[in-house]
Each structure stands twice: as C-alpha cells, then as structure tokens.
Structure 1
Amino acid sequence: MDDQIPNDIKTRQDHELSYYQWIPLIILLMALLFKIPNIMWRMLNVSSGIHLERINQLTDSSQLGTSENRDQTVGHIARYIDRWLRTNREYHRNLLVKIKQRLSNVFLFCLGKREGHFLIGLYLFIKILYCVNCIGQFFLLDVFLSNNYGTYGFEVLKSLSQNVELRESPRFPRVTLCDFEIRQMNNILRWTVQCVLPINLFNEKIFTFLWFWLFLVTILTFLNLFSWWYYVLFQKNKHQFVKKYLIVSKELKSGFEKKLARKFVAEYLRDDGIFVLRMIGKNSTPVILMDLIKELWRLYREEPPGRRTNDILETVSFRKESDI
C-alpha cells in the first residue's frame, strides 16, 4: 500500500486481482485429484479376476442373517475365492515361469497375476499415488498462493502461540485499491479508493483449514502405506495372520497340520489371497473372517492346488449362488 499508484490504465489492469472466481474450481480440482486414484483402483482391480466389492457386500449382509444363512454365504464366498486362487497360478514349472516369478517379486502387479502379487501390488501402487497426490497438492497450492504454503500451518500455530497477527497473504489481501469511473458533464472522471475485501478473510480461513487437513491426510496415508509394506514384505506376518484364526477354530492339532498351514499360506493363498482376507476382515467381523479361513483350509486339505488344473473362475455363477 506504500507503493506509488501507476497512472497508466494498462499497468493497473495488469495488476488486477482476477483469480477469485477460480477458487471454487481450484477446490474442485483438489477433490478430483483425490478421487482419481480411487477411480483407477475400481477400474483395474477387476482385472485380477475377483469381485472384492461384491464379496464385501455379501459379508456385510451375512452378519445380520441367521447362522444357517451366514454359513451358506461363507461357503459360497470360500468356493469363489478357492476357484480364483486355483485358476490364477502357473501349473507348468520351467525357466520362463521361474523368471516371471523373480520379476514379479520386484515389480509386483506388473507381472504377478499368476504369481499371486497382482492385487496387492496394484493396491500399493494406488497407495503411492495417494501419497504423491498429497505432496503434490502442497506444491500446487504454494504456486497458487505464492506464500510458502508448505510451512503455512506452522506459521499459523506460531502466531497463535505468540498471540501475534498472522502476516497477510499476497494472494488474499484484505485491503486493496479499486478504480471506478464517474461521468460528469460529459467528462469521465476516474477515481481510486481504498477497498476492504471481507471475502478474503473467508478464503484465508478455508486454505488454512485445507493446510491442516492435507497435513493430517499426508501423515495418515504414509503410515498406512508403510503398514501395508510391513504386511507384504515379511512372510512371518502373513503366516501369523492366518495361523491365529486356525488356532482359535482348533484346526491346528498336530505338527503336520502346522507345517501344512505354512504351505497353505505360501503356496495356496499367497500375497493376493492374504490381501483379500485382510480386506474382508476390515469390512466384516472376526467371526466371519474366521469361518471363511476355516472353510478355505478345509477346501485346501481336500484338494491341494497341484491336483486340480482345470478350474474356471465363474463370477456369474458365484453371483447366482450368492443370491440363493
């Protein structure tokens, strides 16, 4: 406000603040950027051959039904997952298959559909996109606000703790200069007056809230990503996850069964199967998950994967059975 006011009209027009009408669109763009990874997940996860959303719907509905209906639904889901697990695997052991398995351990979902890594790899990739999106939005808002937006929230907290006024953002000036014209006696007189912009107080509070919200979402997203990496990288975590439910259901009574349980996890369920069970567990009760693992264990013991090679994943049939 201490600078000299230029007399040239064009110079004044070049300094006009004309971005206010874009603020709702900027917020809409931020929401869209958060939605894109979710859309990608919904589009790509079906190519794994399993309908996760349908399974979650069935486990949800079974919790409110009778014990007979619940057992029947769990049986349908277990047979569906069993067909999916047996279909998506390599039955021929040769050099090419071994190379693909090695590569799938590195690239996960890129080459890991038959090696049991596709679904979990895709899920981790989507999680990484969410993390990149959170960090990217800080940079985008920093460009838009021209106010070191990455540290803006810390400045707000510092100002509140010291009971001092927060410095004014150049993007949200509370006081500015307004030009208007008055026609008087066939002459046009241009006047420049000081204007107060109360809308900027509101805009400033919106982007202050967005900073704290983005900061919290970024921390939670990274923590969630690291937790899933921890589940995936260590084989012991996968074995313990399944083993605790088999122990509770009293399915592991001998040393042989405990050794067989390791094969059940490593060769039958694999990473994708464990991932599906974890997702079911997050959307249902431990009782449903325990019954489902128990039923899959029974199907595995009746016919280990190496003995059945002609399974076909029948999603349509599964849906019909589920509605019975």
Structure 2
Amino acid sequence: MLGIPFVNTYIKNVKVQPVADSVDWLNYYVSALLLICCSLAISAKQYFGSPIQCWVPMEFKGGWEKYAEDYCFIANSYYVPMDDEIPKDLEARQDQITYYRWVPIVLALQSILFWLPNYLWNNIHKQTAIHPRALVDDARQIVILTGQDREREIDNLARYIADALSAFAPANKGKLARSGFNAAILYLLMKFLYVVNAVGQLVMLNYFLGGEYFSWGFETMKDVIRGEEWKESEVFPRVIMCDFSIRRLANIQRHSVQCVIMMNMINEKLYFFLYWWLLFVAIVTAVNFFYYLFTMLFPSCRVRFIRSNINLNDLANMGLGRGDIERFVVDFLHCDGVLVLHFIRRHIGGRITYDLMNQLVRIFWHEAGSQTPSKASDRSHEPLLRGSAYRRNIAGDYKPSMYSPAHLYPNPHGLKTAPKLDEKNQTIDFIDEGTLPLRDLENTTPVRSPNQNQYSSSPAPVTKSSMSSV
C-alpha cells in the first residue's frame, strides 16, 4: 500500500511499546501522529496551493498580482475590521499577523515534543539493571507455551527477575543505579515531561497566536454550545491588509491591498480542536503522573497491587502474613520489580502475571527461610512462618521421643530453646556447649557432659562432698 515513508516508518516503530501504558500511548503515538498529519496537510495546501489571494488595483497586470500575493504572504500583514477605518499613520498599523506561514513548522515541532520523552525513555531504561522491555518480551513468549514447558519458562523468568532484583542490596541503597528505584524514577520523569510538554504547548500557542488563545477557545466553545454562528475573530482573521512599496524609476509608490487567507479557515478549526485536545491530554497525563507517583512513594499502594495478583491460599500455607508481604514488596521486588509486573499485566495479561508473581513469592520464601540469623537480623523480630500454619507444620514434622520432647520446637530465629521445667526437673535452667551449672541437689535426669556429644547412661548423683572437692 502506498503511503508517506516517514509516517509509515513512524507508525511501525512507535505503535507497539511494551513499556508504556495507555496514557503514554495517548501522548507519544496519538498526539504526535495527529500533529504530524496536520502539519503535512497544511504544508501541502500552503506550499503547493494558493494560501493567499489579494485584491489589487487595475493597473496591476501580468506578474504584478502574483508579486503582490507572494510579498504579502511572506511579509507582515495587519488586521482591520470592516467597520473600522484604515489608520493613516503607518506606525498605528501595528496589529500584525505573522503566524500563519509558520503553522506547518510549529505543528511538526509540537509532534516531535510529544514523541521526545518516549524516545528518551526507550533509550535510557535499557541501561537499568532490570531492563523492563526485555522482561516483557520474554513474558510474551511464554503465553504460547503449555504444560511443563510453560511452568519451566515461568520459573526461569521468575529466577531471572529475582537475580536482577538481588543487585539492589541494602549496601547499595545510596547509589541510584543499584537502588531499586532507577527504572521507576526514569518512568516518572518521562510522565512528568509529558505533563510539562502538554501545558507548555498551550502556553506556547497562546503567545504564538497573539496572546488571546486561552480566552478565544473558551468563548468559541460557549458560542458552539449555544448554537450561535461561528464569528470571525481577531486571532484567525480571514481578510487582512498588506502594505508594500514599488520603485518606479526615481519614485517609490506605496500600495495597500486587501487579501484573503483561505488557510485561516482551516487553521481556526484546527487550533480550536488542539485547544481542547491539549487541555484534555494535560489533565489526563497529570492525573496519571500523580497516580504513579503515589504508587511508587507509598508501599501500601504497591502491596495492594501485589495482593490482588497472588494466591492468598498459598500465602496462608507458607505462613506468610501481612508483614511478610510488605517485606516481599519493599525489600525484594522494590519499585522496579512492581513496575515490570505492571507492564506485564497490562501488555501480556493477568494469567501470566498471576503465575509469575506467585513463583516470585515462592523464591522469596525459600531465600528468606534459608538465611541465618546474622544475615536476617532485620527480620528476627517477626518470624517468617507463624500462626496456625506454623504450628501445624511443626507438629507434623517433629515426633515426641526420649531425646526430642514435643515441647522442644525449633525456634524460627535459629536459637536453641531451653528445656521445659517440670516437677521432676527443677535444677537445669539452661545447658549449652560451654557451661554446665551444678546445683547442690540430687538430680536423676540425664545430663550431657561438656566434653561428650551423648548423654550418660547412668550418671552419678551429685553430692556435697563432690562439690567441696570441686
């Protein structure tokens, strides 16, 4: 199919963006494509048609009329309402109109400004540790798989994400490149640039069109709602005046001609639409920016997103509570991990996001459970396995025996638990490998010697004489 090469290439390159949402698409694709198409259409009429036609005196013959029209198109003109007289003072003719010949160029520049933040984001996010685009592309390949192949690839992708997120160690929190927030910060910066761009373009157009663009758009909308006739305005005049001089021998003759700008009928409708389009895009983008800002700043927002995409029954079976999920989101996924999962859910689907997130929870559970107390001191105040599920699992794994009483449950902190005292055993408070407290009482309970690894079969009773010899 025939088409404009630049537009076809642009559509092919920017239509699919796996690391953007619908509001980003509204900016970098819809707005940019709309503006570039308007620029090309107006350029075709302006540079290959007749953008201006002037009423000239009868003595203008041949190429004189064409000369007058070309000069008035490139030179400054001014607007005088039909009911007003043309000022005789040349300095009073200051209400000049110069924008119409720059309209195609300005529209093309606006299109580039809408596309530029996305271009920067696509080139910078590849330098982050997590590389969101590559992860989303890998997740897309899993959708077509089934059975064990699908489970294996989900596990591989989850472990790859976990390895990438493991680079965000606590010691590197001061470094932006390894803080777990670099991709999220870059994404927020892109959205902030979209907001600045939309608002800035409204301000720029107000100055470009003479300083009355804001009031003109609002007043014109009121006339349209009331059903009134579309009035000619000073912002987009259709009939203008133009002054130029002609040298004839030693004399300079000055002429004032009246010209009609046909393009201003199109420009008027175009900029009325752009007024409300830019306002709509600015509001939607600002709301979207603050949504992502609050999501990244407040962990509770990220926890809510994660909890809506994981199996709560599996969490209960693993003994993970609310505090563990918060640690999973804040210390394991970080903002970058949540952002990647958000992209996968939006572009790939909820099913793959559900399976991938549950596999990440299992990896987090195994890694947290295998840590020693010295490496997990920040988690020692709250055990990973707790509640009814914890006691149910312990009761099923540890059976009471002579040397392993039922009350000696493994401590989740990794510390040794002292034996329980009862009526038959009142002398042993705590036994470790280096200290053996002796009391002046008889005790029939087997006691482990500090130099032995097994219990004595028939220990001798402790007497006062033996204590005195010690």
Distance 1:295 1:151 in 2: 56
AA aligned to 2:314 is E
1 or 2 for the larger relative contact order (CA 8 Å, sep ≥6)? 1
Residue 29 of structure 1: how far off its partner (Å): 0.9
Distance 1:267 1:21 in 2: 57
Task: State which of 172, 193, 198 in structure 1 corresponds to 2:236.
Answer: 172
Match of 1:31 in 2: 111
Distance 2:369 2:187 in 1: 25
Match of 1:53 in 2: 133
Match of 1:322 in 2: none
Structure 1 pair 12–19 and aligned structure 2 pair: CA distance change class (3 A): farther
Residue 255 of structure 1: how far off its partner (Å): 7.8
**1:41-120 equivalent positions in 2, closer than 5 A:** 41-91=121-171, 100=174, 111-120=175-184
Distance 2:120 2:329 in 1: 28
SS at match of 1:194: strand
Residue 40 of structure 1: how far off its partner (Å): 2.0
Match of 1:155 in 2: 219
- CA-to-partner distance for each residue in 1:140-185, whole Å, 9 max, x for gaps? 000000143234432222111233345544342101135689999x
Task: State which of 319, 326, 331 in structure 2 corresponds to 1:256.
Answer: 319
Q: TM-score, normalised by structure 1?
A: 0.76
- The structure where helix makes up a greater share of residues is 1
AA aligned to 2:360 is L
Indicate if the aligned counterparts of 1:45 and 1:122 stay in contact, CA closer than 8 A.
Answer: yes
Structure number with larger C-alpha Rg: 2
**1:236-251 equivalent positions in 2, closer than 5 A:** 236-247=300-311, 250-251=313-314
Q: TM-score, normalised by structure 2?
A: 0.54
SS at match of 1:196: strand
- In the alignment, structure 1 residue 271 sits paired with structure 2 residue 335: yes
Distance 1:217 1:64 in 2: 36
SS at match of 2:178: coil
**1:120-269 equivalent positions in 2, closer than 5 A:** 120-166=184-230, 168-178=232-242, 192-247=256-311, 250-254=313-317, 256-258=319-321, 259-269=323-333
- CA-to-partner distance for each residue in 1:163-210, whole Å, 9 max, x for gaps? 3345544342101135689999xx997654432222100011111111
AA aligned to 2:214 is G
SS at match of 1:253: helix
SS at match of 1:281: helix
Structure 1 pair 156–70 and aligned structure 2 pair: CA distance change class (3 A): farther
Q: Any gaps of 5 or more consecutive residues in structure 2?
A: 1-79, 376-470
Indicate if the aligned counterparts of 2:236 and 2:267 stay in contact, CA closer than 8 A.
Answer: yes
AA aligned to 2:163 is R
Distance 2:115 2:108 in 1: 11
Distance 1:21 1:228 in 2: 40
Q: Work out the number of aligned pairs and report it.
A: 290
Residue 286 of structure 1: how far off its partner (Å): 0.7
Distance 1:211 1:272 in 2: 36
Indicate if the aligned counterparts of 1:147 and 1:170 stay in contact, CA closer than 8 A.
Answer: no
Indicate if the aligned counterparts of 1:152 and 1:211 stay in contact, CA closer than 8 A.
Answer: no
Indicate if the aligned counterparts of 2:236 and 2:268 stay in contact, CA closer than 8 A.
Answer: yes
Residue 7 of structure 1: how far off its partner (Å): 8.2
What is the percent sequence identity of the aligned residues?
31
- In the alignment, structure 1 residue 291 sits paired with structure 2 residue 359: no
Distance 1:15 1:246 in 2: 65
- CA-to-partner distance for each residue in 1:69-88, whole Å, 9 max, x for gaps? 44343233212211110012
Distance 2:360 2:210 in 1: 57
